């Protein structure tokens, strides 16, 4: 385990999400990077593609805070276990959910990302059902 404060992912979550700095995406996310688990294959790659997800999430949630609970790294790969807290804009309901993020970096930018977040738990907290009505 690493001191999470010294990790690239701590910098990413703090600058992009906690400080709500969309311009940090250009500084920290490669123009050719992919983000598995949050972007579909038909969406644009790189910073512009990630900004689509970012803007959509920010339209649905405010007061977003992502804390890095644990992190490990080796060479150019880093992984973090995170906790997300936010307020759902439409309902005013608070949400808390966890997730994992693994990134490969080069030249100080994410070049590949793999994300696994508990979006089912998040949707349940705001009262949404993801199954068909019976």
**Residue 10 Cα distances to 17, 18, 22, 111, angstroms:** 10, 10, 16, 16
pLDDT class of 5 with cuts at 50, 70, 90 = low
* Digit-coded pLDDT (tens) for 17-59: 999 999 999 999 999 999 998 877 777 889 999 999 999 999 9
Element at 28 (helix H, strand E): helix 23-28
- Where does the pLDDT of residue 6 fall: very low under 50, low under 70, confident under 90, or very high at 90 and above? confident
Say how many C-beta atoms besides its own lie within 10 A of residue 16's C-beta: 21
- The percentage of the chain sitting over the pLDDT mark of 90, rounded to a whole number, equals 82
pTM of the entire predicted model: 0.89
Domains of the chain and CATH, by start: 4-125 (3.10.450.50)
Across 9-13, average pLDDT: 96
């Amino acid at each position: 385990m690493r001191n999470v404060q010294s990790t690239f992912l701590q910098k990413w979550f703090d600058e992009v999400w906690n400080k709500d700095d969309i311009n940090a995406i250009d500084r920290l996310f490669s123009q050719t990077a992919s983000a598995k688990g949050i972007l579909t294959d038909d969406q644009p790659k790189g910073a512009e593609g990630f900004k689509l997800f970012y803007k959509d999430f920010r339209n649905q949630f405010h007061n977003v805070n992502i804390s890095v609970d644990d992190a490990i790294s080796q060479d150019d790969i880093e992984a973090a276990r995170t906790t997300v807290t936010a307020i759902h804009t439409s309902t005013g309901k608070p949400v808390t959910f966890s997730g994992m993020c693994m990134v490969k970096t080069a030249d100080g930018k994410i070049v590949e990302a793999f994300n696994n977040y508990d979006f089912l738990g998040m949707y349940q907290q705001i009262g949404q059902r993801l199954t068909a009505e019976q």
